[in-house]
Amino acid sequence: MSDEVVTQHSLLGAPPQYLTPLERPTLAEAKIWCRQLATSHYENFHVATFFLPTRVRPHFESIYAYCRVADDLGDEVADRAVATRLLDTWGAMLEECYDNPERSLHPVFVALQETIRECNPPRQLFLDLLHAFRMDQYKLKYDSWDELLEYSHYSANPVGRLVLWVCGYREESLTLLSDKVCTALQLANFWQDVVEDAERGRRYLPAETMLRFGVEEGQIEGRVFTPEFRAMVENLVARTRAMLLDGGQISKHVDKELAVVLDLFRKGGEAILNGIRAQDFDVLRGRPVVSKTKKFGLLVEAFFGKLRAGTSV
């Protein structure tokens, strides 16, 4: 079997919409594919890219497409052995995209080549994301806050670093602030999705924190909300909020247009934490959500922030 045939069929077992085409798409076709994926999955991402300079939007769409496909290979494939194989293959396709770009056939990697050529993002950031998705296949429960920070180092922080890189920022001081925001956003999602994660056999509430506050694991499955559980979640939310606000200082050190986008994501995280507080920290009774009114208010604020930045919309 030729190497080309192996490449073409390397995603067998993946969701059908992600299978590699038999013929290499043009760059224009690949960019359209990534844009459609970005606009059909997460409204928040699509809205955020609206506030970015036009010249960098295609780069964000290709990066998003890479992340989205990888995430779905890990989450939407029931057999964990198959999911791990697919993630390994996705990683091999990334390496090929960097080392032998003319052989790439998948639209994600055809589009990503332009980002690599123009911005030269470190491949390790993309590989780190895959490491997190592989972790999801075998590590379902977390023992400590530090373990969550380590997971976020791979699952969330690379995205923020890629954002900065594509926008031309390389300073380590900025990447460290970005890491705080991204980690806090990841943690906020964990506290928001306690019940949903439990239904999937996962627990991100750290065991050492549960022990410290006198919370038993059976309370999550049984949805038994107690004063001890409330105190635990309140503590986790406070630590996460402090990290989010600390990292939010990054907006003072980037151009105004990028600051609008970073502020939008940060305020979205704050809105999640505020939603948890509004439920008196009872994340067992249902998933705290950010109201449409609140979301609209954040978008209006971002819109006028973009106008103040002196850029056209």
Average pLDDT across the chain, whole number: 87
Query: Does the pLDDT of residue 37 top 70, yes or no?
Result: yes
> Which region among 27-41, 55-69, 283-297 has the lowest average model confidence (pLDDT)?
283-297
Q: What are the start and end residues of each CATH 1.10.600.10 domain in the chain? A: 1-138, 140-313
* pLDDT score, position 309: 52
Pick the CATH number of 1-138 from 3.90.950.10, 3.30.470.20, 1.10.10.10, 1.10.600.10: 1.10.600.10
How many other CB atoms sit within 10 Å of the CB of residue 171? 11
At 113-161, the pLDDT tens digits run 999 999 999 999 999 999 999 999 999 999 999 999 999 999 999 999 9
Q: Tell me the per-residue pLDDT of 245-260, one tens digit each, with 9 for 90 and over.
A: 999 999 999 998 888 8
What pLDDT score does 304 carry?
Answer: 46
Closest CA to 290 of 305, 272, 273, 308: 272
Residue (of 189, 166, 171) closest to 252 by Cα position = 171
Q: Yes or no: say if 284 and 195 are a contact pair by the CB < 8 Å rule.
A: yes
Residue 302 has pLDDT above 90, yes or no: no
CATH architecture of 140-313: Orthogonal Bundle (1.10)
pTM: 0.88
Residue 203 bridge partners (DSSP):
141
From the centroid of its chain, how far is CA 15? Answer: 20
Give one DSSP letter per residue of 31-90, joined into a string.
Answer: HHHHHHHHHHH-HHHHHHHHTS-GGGHHHHHHHHHHHHHHHHHHHS-S-HHHHHHHHHHH
Location of structure tokens 């939010």: 248
Q: pLDDT tens-digit profile of 169-228? A: 999 999 999 999 999 999 999 999 999 999 999 999 999 999 999 999 999 999 999 999
Q: Give Cα 76 to chain centroid, integer Å.
A: 16
Q: Are 7 and 96 in contact (CB under 8 A)?
A: yes
Distance (Å, rounded) from C-alpha 121 to C-alpha 60? 12
